[in-house]
Copies of this chain bind each other. A is one copy, B any other.
Amino acid sequence: MPEQSSHPRSLRAMDSVLGATTELLSEGGLPAATVDAISARSGVSKATIYKHWPCRTAIAAEAFGKQMAAAIPLPDKGDAASDLAEQVRRVSSFYAGPQGTIFAQLLAASVADPAASPYFREYFLDKRREAVAELWQRALDRGEVKPEISAETATDVLFGPLIFRLMTGHPPLTTEEADKISSAALGGLLAD
């Protein structure tokens, strides 16, 4: 019994890849997560890696996305409007922190490399849009937000400004700035 072999071999290999990628990302950001480096550190061969992901960005998206999902649980307790605010606050503090840079690099890379887009969407965007859609519906039902605005639009308005600041990096996105931006954005969504 050389290793705990509850998983079939391939699953262990893929876990190893994601673990190595997470390490490399935290050490040197996306540029450090080359396929060669991931292969060397994980002990998984490049050929095997390419059987499971189309490009390195996809690997990084999956590895980092799982981290982020764990770091930002969806708020589920309070009333709709404050859940929304709380969610924005959590995400913005994530962006403003050290992980924000990696997120920006990933988003950038998924633009440059369209093969990675589905991965980026799967691990960063879709769940968040769904979650916001649910909160938005609840808020709508209670008349707390403007009914002419769709959940899609609301998501863009809430997170877009933060991401814009993050990507351009100037002025830097601090926690305080993130708060100001979030409140302003929220202001356009709440019912009068």
Contacts and interface: CB of A to CB of B under 8 A. Distances in A.
Interface of A: 30-31, 104-105, 107-109, 111-112, 117, 120-121, 125, 146, 149-150, 152-154, 156-157, 159-165, 167-171, 177, 180-181, 184-189, 192
Nearest to A185: B157
Given A108-B109, A186-B188, A156 B167 contact: no
Contact of A188 (B107, B109, B177, B187): B187
Contacts of A108: 107-109, 111-112
Contacts of A168: 107, 117, 120-121, 125
A126 to B, nearest CB: 8
A47 B184 CA distance: 47
Nearest to A162: B160
A109 B112 contact: yes
A91 to B, nearest CB: 12
CB-based closest 10 A-B pairs: A188-B188, A160-B164, A160-B161, A187-B188, A108-B108, A108-B111, A160-B160, A156-B161, A157-B161, A163-B164
Contacts of A171: 152
Contacts of A161: 153, 156-157, 160-161
Contacts of A146: 184, 187
A184 B191 CA distance: 12
Contacts of A187: 146, 187-189
Given A153-B184, A162-B160, A170 B111 contact: no
